[in-house]
Structure 1
């Protein structure tokens, strides 16, 4: 034994346990099995666990203390198995006994406490019975008798595991709202039979979970057709320079319509992305389980793989086509929106250029008006200044200064006018220089 102290990953034990979390069952024949797949949220899963504890109490068994990925317990001849999956929980009830000529007269749920199943929360997607008959020491029933067990519905059958068993089903709901599988065990051991039944349970459950995406695709597809036409019309309007009435198109209105289309596409993607991804994942599981059956054909009947793939694969491709169409529509809307935004920006730049040109023209007019006002202001200032000079000359004359008032006033008039004009021009030049210096100081983009 090594004394080395290894640093183990904290999830190492959990990873080992995961490989054994859902073991195959060992099922003898004959047996009666009922299987339910219930779609539910996390809160409903917790409520279902409390409901499972109540079942264990009613059956006088050990009550589980914690909710596990897979619960399995034996209650006399009744086996109960509960498995938690991503979006659903499956229940398998196995009655290890038979004794009735009709294989579906008594089922796995026939021995449950009265009323327990009626109060199970969640939406049941898959519900079917599996009847296992041992024909190692007796002949198998003929086709008409088998058909009578399926209420005369069309049969689908095969011989899995290289003919070690015979499987019959109709892939339809019967009068009790349950599907039916009939297995004749020819030479399988209990372990082999358990693995075969487990694959059949998973095939039927995953098949129905796969098809949940098809109604979503069918509901979305007509709306995509309408939105595709609307986008084509918007693109046509965008590519034309003018509308039919000769008026320029309203880019803002077009952008608003494109935004509305984009929001609708994103809404449909939010509704369908998880469902379509789940559809692809469930289909892979179904095809894998069908491959594991290793079916041999029964003359005149479709095998399980032929029947399922004939309708399942087109349904999945429909979902994928709608998903691809959503992605394509989203990309096209993005491209058209980018082009429209570019045109809007160019239009705004053109409007800004026109605005700048208009402002430049107005500046020139204001400059001309300013020069006119400056001329008038020189005359006005000169007029008032000469008035002051006249008063000043009068004061000097009154004080005894012998001067000719008219001559002195006449001589001072041109001097005043020239001085006012020079001072006004100098003030204007100073402010113009300050404006030029301020413009040069701004950072250039």
Structure 2
């Protein structure tokens, strides 16, 4: 015994992952319960955003305080505690919190009549007013009554009908006839749904697993259908946008004279609307698919047989909810398809606008080229006038120099000297002007070459 204890308690020398223990505990976080027939169970599924989880947990703590029981210090994925004849189980999920209340006492003595399994529920054992202060929106609320009977399904049918207010029943015999399940999948006069289970040979553990499957089937079925109203509200809007997009595409294909700015504004508004719908529906439609898969899995685990010609739970649910799931999937695909089509038409419009801008740029460049040529001709004319003007003033300056030299006693012919200087000055001024002009042209060519090299480098980077 000592060796075994040391083997279990001694820690290994290698490093352990900090989440190792929680990974083991995760498999046991929501254990199956054991149910003894007769029993009364009430299940609530409450939609609760993350911001409300703390308030709801404090509400659970208040329940423990009212019963004088130990109060949990922190929230967990599954809380379960017995308060005398009442067992309370609370499970937290991604978007909802599930409460299961189980009457553990002798229900036969408390029920006025043996054939009224829903006359007394587990909710009667809760403190007055506690349930009214529950935070969140209740989407699923139903009772599950467990009775023991050795009768066959046909013999139990008259008794079962009396407990469903004359509604049409759906029934099955799971686990090779060890139990009979009856329900109507409708709300009754008390505002709750109802499941009636007759146990014929199941052990408490098997009955607990059956209860868990029924609770999950009904809860996930209701949550799965939350996407249907959203899909119905979005579908007409998609039809309108689809028609509008088709009209824009036809006008583009016809090369009509369009106002690109107006069309782009319409496409932008349409794209924004589609993205809004996608933001509203992406999580809901994904949740619908996930819940649908869970429902089908739980129904398959029931291993049902038909009872006296009635639809089984699997037949009824798959016949009714599968079209709803298909509708959500269809609307989701239409949203994605419409979003892609809007992107393609927007690309076409942007290409059209870019081509129009390029044409305008070409016309502008041609106009600038014409103006440049005119300016160049004017520049040549001005250059000729400039040469003449500079030469005139230069000859005037030389005339003063020649006069000063003559007055100083240098023998020369003033008129001849001035006449000879005129062509020399003209040639010199013209030569200097052309050199300056050529220098500026070389600077311009170098700048254009540098711009061309920068453009080529940018294109290479993009590729």
Please say whether Structure 1 and Structure 2 have the same fold, judged by a TM-score greater than 0.5.
yes
Match of 1:385 among 389, 394, 401: 394
Does the 8 Å CA contact 1:140/1:184 hold for their aligned counterparts?
no
The 3-state SS of whatever aligns with 2:363 is helix
Does the 8 Å CA contact 2:154/2:308 hold for their aligned counterparts?
no
Does the 8 Å CA contact 2:153/2:307 hold for their aligned counterparts?
no
The answer for unaligned runs of 5 or more in structure 2 is 457-463
Match of 1:356 among 360, 365, 372: 365
Structure 1 residue aligned with 2:162: 148
Does the 8 Å CA contact 2:153/2:180 hold for their aligned counterparts?
no
Does the 8 Å CA contact 1:209/1:279 hold for their aligned counterparts?
yes
Structure 2 residue aligned with 1:317: 326
Structure 2 residue aligned with 1:246: none
The answer for unaligned runs of 5 or more in structure 1 is 244-248
The 3-state SS of whatever aligns with 1:202 is helix
Structure 2 residue aligned with 1:169: 183
Cα distance change, pair 159–137 in 1 and its aligned pair in 2 (3 A): closer
Q: Are residue 158 (structure 1) and residue 172 (structure 2) matched?
A: yes
Summarize the alignment of residues 247-286 of structure 1 with structure 2, pairs less than 5 Å apart.
Answer: 249-286=258-295
Structure 2 residue aligned with 1:123: 137
The 3-state SS of whatever aligns with 1:203 is helix
Structure 2 residue aligned with 1:85: 93
Q: Are residue 196 (structure 1) and residue 210 (structure 2) matched?
A: yes
1:8-51 Cα offsets, whole Å, 9 max, x none, are: 33322212211111111111111111110001022322222211
Cα distance change, pair 442–63 in 1 and its aligned pair in 2 (3 A): closer
- Give 1:317 shift: 0.8
The 3-state SS of whatever aligns with 1:149 is coil
**RMSD, matched Cα:** 2.5
Q: Are residue 298 (structure 1) and residue 307 (structure 2) matched?
A: yes
Cα distance change, pair 139–366 in 1 and its aligned pair in 2 (3 A): closer
Structure 1 residue aligned with 2:297: 288
Does the 8 Å CA contact 1:38/1:124 hold for their aligned counterparts?
yes
- Give 1:175 shift: 1.4
The 3-state SS of whatever aligns with 2:141 is strand
Q: What is the TM-score normalised by the length of structure 1? A: 0.91
Match of 1:45 among 53, 65, 72: 53
C-alpha distance in structure 1 between counterparts of 2:374 and 2:364, whole Å = 15
- Give 1:380 shift: 1.9
Match of 2:28 among 5, 10, 20: 20
C-alpha distance in structure 2 between counterparts of 1:411 and 1:287, whole Å = 115
Q: Are residue 66 (structure 1) and residue 74 (structure 2) matched?
A: yes
Cα distance change, pair 8–162 in 1 and its aligned pair in 2 (3 A): same
The 3-state SS of whatever aligns with 2:180 is strand
What is the number of residues matched between the two proteins? 440
C-alpha distance in structure 1 between counterparts of 2:435 and 2:83, whole Å = 112
